[in-house]
Amino acid sequence: MQPKDSMSHSLETNLRNIYAGGDMVRGADLVVTAVSDGVQAASQILTRFSEKESH
């Protein structure tokens, strides 16, 4: 599993529907950064589910 090159916009990895953030992506970092990545990933996941439901 590898993060996509555009990690600043998406936390989705090269595996569809798999997201990574925090230490997995950045190496050792602050816990608040990991929490922020989790919130961002959750938002992206909700957006993806909303798109699927509308189709």
CA distance 55 to 40: 23
- Tell me if the pTM is above 0.75: no
Q: Which residues contact 37 (CB under 8 A, 6 or more apart)?
A: 11, 21, 22, 25
Q: What residue spans define the domains of the chain?
A: 1-55
Please give the span between the terminal C-alpha atoms of the chain, in angstroms, as a whole number.
Answer: 28
Q: What is the pLDDT of residues 3-41, one digit of tens each?
A: 555 445 678 888 988 988 888 888 888 999 999 999 999
CA distance 15 to 29: 24
Q: Which residue has the tokens 């957006």?
A: 47
Question: 42 versus 1: which is more confidently predicted?
Answer: 42
What three-state secondary structure class fits 25? helix
